[in-house]
Amino acid sequence: MKPEKIEIRWHGRGGQGAITAAKIVAHTGFESGYKGIVMAPTFGTERRGAPIFTSLKISRQKIYDLSPIDTPDMVVVLDHTLLEEVDVAAGLKPGGLMIINTPRPAEEYHFAGMKVAVADVTHLAQEAGLPSGVVNSGIIGAFSKATGLLDIDDLVREIENEFKDKKPEKNAAAARLVYEKTRLGGAL
């Protein structure tokens, strides 16, 4: 990883598990040698279904600035319908990466100067045996494939740990399936 600090913003809906997804990445990052980890959920009033976001900062050194991310390196969107409600690309650094759970192909998304990665996580997670709407384990597969930041095996181990009482094998399978099916597009 080249930059000193990687800033990842996660967009989801209240109850969708964006915080859990970011937590899995945070734990795996720490275990992979990134000792500086800060994950800050939206502060204040969270409601089920309403748009929320979570900031995740990852660094080799301790992070002192805990304020929300203004200029992310990457944005992860757990629900493509959020694109109609929220400016998910706000502040994304030039050449930044947008990862979207969507049934539509990458070519349909245009963010000037940005890279795009897509996967139909909602569908693939069901294929892996998860109930409809569980996307927070699957999206990790797209994150690993698109960023190359953290190893999929390490992430899957953390998924199994996080979901140890909630279908760990199926959540792990969803992440692996999405990893295989993630497609990259945009300005590469």
Partner 1 sequence: MHMIESGNVAAATGVKLARANVIAAYPITPQTPLTEKLSEFVAAGELAAEYIPVESEHSAMAVCIAASSAGARAFTATSANGLLYMNEQLHWAAGARLPIVMCVANRGIGAPWTVWNDHQDTISQRDGGWIQIYANDHQQIIDSVIKAFYLAQTVSIPVMVCYDGYILSHTYMPFEKPDQDQVDAFLPPFTPENMLDPDRPYNFNTVTLPDVRPDIHGQTAPGYMEIRHCLHQDMRGSIQVLEEIDKKFQAAFGRGGHPFVEPYKCEDADHVVVCMGSLSYHFRDVIDLLSQEGLKIGVMGVQLYRPFPEKAIVEALYQKKSIMVFEKALSYGNQGALYADIKSALYPCENRPEMKNFILGLGGREIKTSILVETVRNAVKHTAASDDHPMWVGLKCQE
Q: Which residues would be at the binding site for partner 1 (CB under 8 A)? A: 23, 26-27, 30, 35, 37-41, 43-45, 63-68, 70
Query: In the complex with partner 1, which residue's Cβ is closer, 14 or 41?
Result: 41
What are the structure tokens assigned to 118, written together?
């897509």
Residue 36 or 133: the one with the smaller Cβ distance to partner 1 is: 36
**Nearest CB to partner 1, comparing residues 63 and 83:** 63
E-strand stretches of the chain:
5-13, 36-41, 51-59, 74-77, 97-101, 115-119, 183-186
Name the minimum Å distance from CB 23 to partner 1: 7
Which residue in the block uniquely carries the two structure tokens 């203004």? Answer: 70
The least distance separating partner 1 from the CB of residue 39, rounded to whole angstroms, comes to: 4
Contact between 53 and 110 (Cβ < 8 Å): no
Cβ proximity to partner 1, 53 vs 109, nearer residue: 53
Instruction: Tell me the closest approach of the beta carbon of residue 65 to partner 1, in angstroms.
Output: 5
In angstroms, the CA 123 to CA 90 distance is 27
Which residue, 30 or 111, is less far from partner 1 as judged by CB?
A: 30
The amino acid occupying position 20 is T
Q: In the structure encoding, which two tokens stand for residue 12, read together? A: 């989801």
CB 163, min distance to partner 1, A? 16
Shortest Cβ 110–partner 1 spacing (Å): 30
Question: Residue 136 corresponds to which tokens in the numbers above?
Answer: 């927070």
* d(C-alpha 49, C-alpha 17), whole Å: 11
Q: Vertex 33, ends 27 and 39: CA angle to 5°?
A: 40
